[in-house]
């Protein structure tokens, strides 16, 4: 059931208030659109009692909701093909578009996190320093036809009348729109109010900036979550050279990254985190209670009777697609989450979806999926924009991802689900030194995914093979599939 943002009006309220109070100008009258009966409604009495809105109405050819990787990719594609198009881009964040993966990894490296006028900068694994932001202000200023609305969200939408109500009370009409709102963090069920300042949900740049200040003034950090974000952050904070932190990683699963890695590899990485970085691992642990102790530290009681004391808690339990405002008019995938879209990433007429929030049919894997990785966000945003401009291109991209945990760098392609059978091929199978190798994921005698460890640049080769229905019969099919030589140019 759709629940409007607390304190926000609905589109029906806005339009009825304009009529009751006679506030509309001649320009507003010329743009007036009758709201459909399906819109959220209010009584005449409520409308008459409410103050008359003073926010404007507008009309744009393209409206992009969300300014993450998917939204920015879509904007770039539109401006490349239609540089004069009137575009409105709406973002709930206070920052212009930036890359989110470095928030848990690269920005914590030595030599990174040096802010300039262009914002934070970081050093990549290749030693290249770059800005966190996708573009600078000078580039944005060139496009006077692009209107940016930061710290703003969409609170209501009528897809039949192509209307959007924003959190500032303004109403916009669109010809085509893209929903790329990304995800929001899964929240702890209950936190005492006096402990709010001791808990951070790492989901955006503002959260990162807060956490930097916390880390600089803390001796101990607890991290809740042992999958991608939680594991990355635990390794990053524990490996800092400028400040030694006591890092505790708490998670309910049996092992680190156990949703993705097979058991033996999860155990190997967990041991490296303990022995090399000094991370205190609390696996198979569920938080039972959070309180403050006599030393003003946060005390975390676990359901197994254990407890953790820290200066601050960072919650990385996972995310859910941000679809609240769309639930009334758009179909939501009850299994995968997200907004259901067709092969061209269109959910309803002239409403397109991209990034974390889209549930799409994967034509390679023959199933509906929702993917939360950067590569997918960029490509889906690009394809959605092309189709907004009338191209009618199916989204048949086969997404991949990359990450790092301490000195282990890996790329993933396809479906990497640890519940599937796996076959591993390592450069050194005898010493259990898992620094260079491939883990293949098998379903119905077919390779459906793979993780490449210590083999940078090989992912594209495997992506092509797997997307072409790579069969599996026995180990011999895989042992020489990918070369372990870094200078191999066969791809």
CATH number of domain containing 228: 3.50.50.60
Query: Are residue 204 and residue 172 in the same domain, yes or no?
Result: no
104 located within any domain:
no
- Alpha helix (H) ranges present in 100-204? 137-141
Bridge-based pairing state of the strands 171-179 and 351-353: parallel
Query: Are residue 264 and residue 347 in the same domain, yes or no?
Result: no
Query: Are residue 164 and residue 76 in the same domain, yes or no?
Result: yes
Query: Are residue 257 and residue 372 in the same domain, yes or no?
Result: no
The token pair at 465 is: 């093979």
The token pair at 477 is: 């099919």
The token pair at 394 is: 């199916």
42 located within any domain:
no
482 located within any domain:
no
Bridge-based pairing state of the strands 163-166 and 171-179: antiparallel
52 located within any domain:
no
The per-residue pLDDT for range 170-223, each reduced to its tens digit, is: 999 999 999 999 999 999 988 888 899 999 999 999 999 999 999 999 999 999
Last residue of a domain, one of 359, 388, 417: 388
CATH number of domain containing 473: 3.30.390.30
Last residue of a domain, one of 281, 297, 317: 317
What is the number of structural domains in the chain? 3
Query: Are residue 298 and residue 415 in the same domain, yes or no?
Result: no
Q: Which residues of the chain have pLDDT under 50?
A: 1-8, 18-53, 488-491
8 located within any domain:
no
pLDDT at 223: 98
Query: Are residue 151 and residue 84 in the same domain, yes or no?
Result: yes
Burial of 133 (0-12, 13-18, 19+ CB in 10 A): buried
Instruction: State the first-to-last Cα distance of the chain, in angstroms, to the nearest integer.
Output: 49
Phi then psi for 360, rounded to 5 degrees? -125, 160
Domain that holds residue 70: 59-98+133-184+321-388
- Alpha helix (H) ranges present in 24-168? 26-31, 44-49, 69-81, 137-141
Query: Are residue 336 and residue 414 in the same domain, yes or no?
Result: no
pLDDT at 314: 98
The token pair at 453 is: 């460890």
Nearest to 150 by CA among 163, 131, 168, 133: 168
63 located within any domain:
yes
pLDDT at 27: 41
94 located within any domain:
yes
In which region does residue 280 sit, left (phi positive, over 0), alpha (psi from -120 to 50) or beta (all else)?
beta
Query: Are residue 63 and residue 141 in the same domain, yes or no?
Result: yes
Last residue of a domain, one of 273, 301, 317: 317
* Rounded CA separation 451/459 (Å): 8
Phi then psi for 102, rounded to 5 degrees? -65, -15
Query: What SS3 class is residue 132?
Result: coil
Rounded to 10 degrees, the C-alpha dihedral 393/394/398/403 comes to 60
Rounded to 10 degrees, the C-alpha dihedral 131/123/120/197 comes to 140
- Which whole-number Å values give the CA distances from 178 to 97, 181, 328, 353, in the listed order? 16, 9, 17, 5
438 located within any domain:
yes
* Rounded CA separation 336/359 (Å): 7
Query: Are residue 149 and residue 180 in the same domain, yes or no?
Result: yes
The per-residue pLDDT for range 129-170, each reduced to its tens digit, is: 889 999 999 999 999 999 999 999 999 999 999 999 999 999
Query: Are residue 353 and residue 300 in the same domain, yes or no?
Result: no
Query: Are residue 337 and residue 283 in the same domain, yes or no?
Result: no
* Rounded CA separation 479/484 (Å): 10
Q: How many helices (H) and strands (E) does the chain have?
A: 10, 28
Query: Are residue 140 and residue 163 in the same domain, yes or no?
Result: yes
pLDDT at 112: 56
pLDDT at 114: 57
């Amino acid at each position: 059931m759709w629940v409007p943002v607390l304190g926000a009006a609905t589109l029906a309220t806005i339009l009825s208030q304009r009529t009751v109070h006679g506030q509309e100008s001649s320009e507003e009258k010329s743009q007036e659109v009758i709201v459909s009966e399906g819109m959220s409604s209010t009584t005449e009495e409520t409308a008459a009692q409410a103050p008359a809105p003073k926010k404007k109405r507008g009309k744009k050819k393209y409206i992009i909701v969300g300014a993450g990787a998917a939204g920015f990719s879509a904007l770039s594609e539109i401006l490349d093909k239609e540089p004069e198009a009137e575009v409105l881009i709406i973002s709930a964040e206070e920052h212009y578009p930036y890359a989110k993966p470095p928030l848990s990894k690269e920005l914590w490296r030595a030599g990174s996190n040096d802010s300039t006028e262009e914002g934070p900068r970081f050093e990549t694994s290749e030693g290249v320093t770059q800005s966190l932001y996708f573009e600078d202000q000078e580039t944005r200023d060139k496009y006077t036809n692009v209107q940016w609305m930061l710290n703003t969200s969409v609170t209501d939408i009528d897809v039949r009348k192509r209307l959007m109500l924003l959190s500032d009370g303004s109403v916009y009409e669109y010809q085509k729109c893209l929903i790329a709102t990304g995800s929001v963090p899964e929240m702890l069920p209950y936190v005492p109010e006096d402990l709010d300042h001791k808990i951070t949900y790492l989901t955006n740049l503002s959260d990162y900036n807060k956490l930097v200040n916390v880390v600089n003034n803390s001796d101990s950090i607890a991290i809740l979550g042992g999958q991608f974000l939680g594991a990355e952050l635990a390794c990053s904070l524990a490996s800092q050279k400028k400040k030694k932190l006591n890092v505790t990683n708490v998670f309910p699963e049996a092992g680190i990254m156990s949703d993705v890695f097979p058991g033996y590899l999860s155990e190997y990485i967990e041991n490296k985190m303990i022995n090399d970085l000094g991370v205190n691992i609390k696996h198979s642990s569920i938080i039972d209670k959070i309180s403050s102790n006599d030393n003003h530290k946060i005390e975390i009681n676990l359901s197994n009777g254990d407890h953790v004391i820290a200066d601050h808690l960072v919650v990385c339990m996972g995310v859910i697609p941000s679809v609240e405002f769309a639930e009334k008019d758009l179909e939501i995938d009850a299994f995968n989450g997200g907004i259901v879209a067709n092969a061209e990433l269109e959910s309803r007429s002239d409403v397109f979806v991209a990034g974390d929030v889209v549930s799409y049919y994967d034509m390679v894997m023959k199933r509906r999926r929702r993917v939360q990785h950067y590569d997918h966000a960029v490509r889906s945003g690009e394809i959605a924009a092309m189709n907004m401009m009338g191209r009618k291109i199916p989204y048949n991209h086969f997404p991949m991802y990359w990450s790092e945990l301490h000195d282990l760098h890996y790329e993933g392609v396809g479906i990497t689900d640890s519940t599937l059978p796996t076959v591993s091929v390592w450069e050194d199978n005898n010493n259990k030194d898992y620094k260079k190798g491939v883990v293949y994921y098998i379903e119905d005698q077919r390779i459906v995914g793979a993780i490449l460890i210590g083999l940078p640049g090989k992912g594209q080769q495997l992506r092509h093979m797997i997307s072409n229905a790579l069969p599996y019969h026995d180990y011999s099919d895989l042992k020489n599939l990918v070369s372990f030589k870094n200078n191999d140019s066969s791809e």
